[in-house]
Amino acid sequence: MSETNPQFDVVRNDEGQYSLWPVGKPMANGWTEVGQRGERQVCLDYIAEHWSDMRPRSLQH
């Protein structure tokens, strides 16, 4: 992994919330990889495309 271009996985929790997770770091409980990996901006673009309702799933009507 390059220090100048760190790689991230896009992860999602049970509430449907997305985040970035550094590749190689043990996964936090409650989060699952969604299959997108890349540089920070690539992952942020993926999240912007797939996460349109920022409210936790339990608050969505």
In a domain, 37, yes or no: yes
pLDDT of residue 27: 94
In a domain, 14, yes or no: yes
Residue-number span of the structural domain to which 17 is assigned: 7-53
pLDDT digits (tens, 9 = 90+) for 5-61: 899 999 999 988 999 999 999 999 999 999 999 999 999 999 999 987 766 666 666
For the chain, the domain total comes to: 1
- Widest CA span of the chain, in angstroms? 42
In a domain, 38, yes or no: yes
Phi, psi of 13 (to 5 degrees): -100, 180
In a domain, 20, yes or no: yes
Q: pTM for the complete prediction?
A: 0.80
In a domain, 61, yes or no: no
Phi, psi of 40 (to 5 degrees): -50, -50
CATH, residue 16: 3.90.820.10
